[in-house]
Amino acid sequence: MQCPFQPSCDVNVLTNMRQTALHMASERGHTAVIEKLVGYGADMNAPAFNGTVPLHMAVIRSNMAKPTDTSPQIKKVNKNNISFDMT
């Protein structure tokens, strides 16, 4: 990915949802794009309309992409009728 209008290219331009390209790349897990955007000065702390920053988007994506390590243990505990507190 090249910024063809550099140095006048604005990598922090906002969508109508106040998201930057960094938000969208983080949400989709595009690591190479994230690295390029940060290299061009993308604001890693730019809040979207709902207050989320690009890091939030990456964490949400990573949590949705893989099951938690505790899910097999929870099923086993439930199967044996053992009560537990997950808090």
pLDDT single digits (tens) 2-49: 555 556 678 899 999 999 999 999 988 888 999 989 988 899 999 999
More confident residue, 64 or 2: 64
What is the three-class DSSP state of 23? helix
Helices (H), the chain: 21-28, 31-39, 54-65, 71-79
Q: Which CATH superfamily is domain 21-79 in?
A: Ankyrin repeat-containing domain (1.25.40.20)
pLDDT value of residue 55: 87
Confidence of residue 58 (pLDDT cuts 50, 70, 90): confident
